[in-house]
Amino acid sequence: MNAERLIDTAKALVADDKGLLAMDESDPTCNKRFAKLGIPQTAEVRRTYREWIVTTPGLAESISGAILYDETIRQRKSDGTPFAKALADAGIVPGIKVDLGAKEFAGHPGEKITEGLDGLRDRLAEYFQMGARFAKWRAVIVLSDSLPSRASIEANAHALTRYAALCQEAGLVPVVEPEVLMDGDHTLERCDQVTQEVLRTVFSQLYRQGVMLEGLILKPNMVLAGLTCLKQETIDDVADATVRCLLRSVPAAVPGIAFLSGGQSAKLASARLNAMSVRHKSRLPWALAFSFARAIQQPALEIWHGQEAHVLAAQRALYHRASCNRAARRGEYDAATDGETGSATSEVPRQ
Ligand code: 13P
């Protein structure tokens, strides 16, 4: 393992106030988002979608790395350039989602366990050859009055850690994503309690299995009340709770924390990250960044709507959201002057 190279890559992914673009929806997830907009669900339309994303002018001003999916990393631009090379040429580090999805957790109704460890060593070696320099694995923790079970937290933390160790062995920076879902009517306090327990378990496993903390990125949820909870905290309260939760559970050796958006509206995700920067940045041991999928892509996807004539407007919207999030890392995002409307202001369910 080349530790220096891993550390350099991890640092580069959160440098210069940039963040990650998670354009790694699996085919079924991408198809569901297309279906809602009446966009045909074919490999070629998915390729076209990804082509205009990776060729968005100026994207590298705000995006340090882009997470691809197995289908996408094998696809090319119309001129024959592989997407991974097109990204690298633009100054964006190519990454790859390597889990095979969250499946029913046997013996634990309603809970999930992420699959994909079998054969992972070989897949990572292939992705490295294809240009990927970091990888992502998403664990899903379901929150309700009685969930998560300790079993689901431990099993998911163990799988995340086995993935992370294999990534570092292969020269890829692991993006470790234990997502506590926003669905439900739970309070912010309950999200905080569960997120802390999950993160402590994940880092205990990472320590036990010898994963190098300096060479990974954590991708957590923000600490929020559930989507249907009647009490929704202010932006500042969410920022404070999230930072406090992370300070209590994430070791200082980790170079960067890049949030998922988890179904928050694009504007709220930017505003909450901005509040964390304004109120806490100078006192944090790690960089606070973003690794959004919906909160960067969804407004642009809706503008595009599968129409060639809308590509330039969609690229402008994508560039805009990426820029808003870079501004948020600097504490310079202003929701009042963020002109975006439509889905930028509404929550986006995963399905
Ligand atoms: P969202 O930002 O849409 O939650 O997606 C992040 C992600 O990569 C989920 O795995």
Is the Cβ–Cβ distance between 93 and 20 less than 8 Å?
no
Non-local CB neighbours of 290 within 8 Å, separated by 6+ positions = 19, 20, 258, 259, 261, 269, 273, 296, 325, 328, 329
Residues in the chain predicted with pLDDT less than 50, given as ranges, are: none
Q: How far, in Å, is the centroid of ligand 1 from the Cα of 270?
A: 14
Residue 339 has what pLDDT?
Answer: 82
Can you point out the beta strands (E) in 60-208?
Answer: 63-68, 93-97, 102-104, 112-114, 134-141, 173-180
Nearest to 135 by CA among 278, 321, 10: 10
Residue 344: the pLDDT is 73
CB 239 within 8 A of CB 329: no
Please give the distance, rounded to the nearest whole angstrom, from the Cα atom of residue 22 to the centre of ligand 1: 6
Outline where DSSP puts E strands in 181-244. Answer: 217-218
- Is 347 tagged catalytic? no
pTM of the model: 0.97
CB of 343 within 8 A of CB of 265? yes
pLDDT value of residue 342: 58
Which of 291, 264, 305 has its CA nearest to residue 33? 305
Other CB atoms within a 10 A radius of the CB of residue 64 amount to: 27
**What is the C-alpha to C-alpha distance for residues 261 and 290, in angstroms, rounded to an integer?**
8
The Cα 51–Cα 213 span in angstroms is 34
For 35-46, how does the pLDDT look when each residue is reduced to its tens digit (9 = 90+)?
A: 999 999 999 999
- As for ligand 1, residues whose beta carbon falls within 6 Å of it are 22, 138, 177, 260-262, 292-295
Catalytic residue among 25, 177, 179, 340: 177
